[in-house]
Structure 1
Amino acid sequence: MGAKSVTTPNCDVPALWLEHKNALRNYIYKRVKDEEITNDILQDVLLKVYTFCLSKSGVLSLKSWLYQIAHNTIIDYYRKNSGPTSLAKDIQIAEEEENFAFKEAVEYIEPLLNFLPKEYAEPLRMADLEGLKQAEIAQKLNLSLSATKSRIQRGRTLLKAEFITCCHLETDTSGGIISFQIKDSCTPLQALKKKN
């Protein structure tokens, strides 16, 4: 029951909308550069927020959640309304826009890597953060290619487990992150968050 009372205010749609409507309008207009389209998309965002709030009990990071809904609605608009030649370009532009929750989560990848054993953290860091090819990593770490691949895969599995242990992630139906929050129980990341 206690958790319900924390999340319920998140779905006070009129108050939520009054607080964020202008910022969302600016966010959308900056991307579509058309007043009428902006108003259409903003209306769709409101409907999605209302529908979500009727069916669920709220989210942890309102700002990230709202902007992710706006972002996804812009992409949906382009998919429905662009001509076949400009569709791919328009979707690509829309999808390149920032995903706030994802960016917030990415900030904690490096610290979470430090929780992993070095034998897995180092090849994973080189592959996923530095963008090195697996053959190059194998050479630098004096490992066989198959051992390098295995350690990177194992590192990803361990990193995912650390994320689940330390963070609360909410995803949309396609797996995109819509909300990110560090759990109170994860003291190392909480301490890091306070520094930032």
Structure 2
Amino acid sequence: MNVEHIWGEYRSSLQAFLRKNVSNAADVDDLLQEVLIKTYTHMKTIKDPSQIKSWLFQVANNAIIDFYRKQGRQRLVEGEELWHAEDDSSVHNELSQCLTPFIQALPEGEAQMLTAIEINGESQKSYAEKQGVKYSTLKSRVNKSREHLLELYKECCDFTLDANGNLMDYEQKPSSCNKC
């Protein structure tokens, strides 16, 4: 059981797992490197070689959790640093210009929640406390509202996704979509 063999076998699966959970490619590379370092330094603690795969993915999952915790401790991003305020012609930025009208097309409660969380950057936990609901309940509501938002987008646009489900391109449908 050596690192080169293990890494050769599981690197691409780990990278795909990280990509699924972290959108920035540079961050994915950094996290993958962290997993490699932890694999190298802690591989001797694995007693059963049949458990290596689950151990690696647990290390990757912990790296993702640590990454987002660290992100949460950093200062709040404001104004021109916000992703939806960047002047870039990428697909994501083009669609982000339409985000507010689509959110406003949702029922009022969903619109207020997504505006606070997605546009204003309020944490889900903080929003749940302000609204007096359980955090787990709010997470479910946010996911449902995001699904509703996606359905609104799909009414107006056809999306092209890559093999990993990442958005590659879109084309506005010739229908009477008036949200953007």
Bigger fraction of residues in helix: 1
* Length-normalised TM-score, structure 1: 0.42
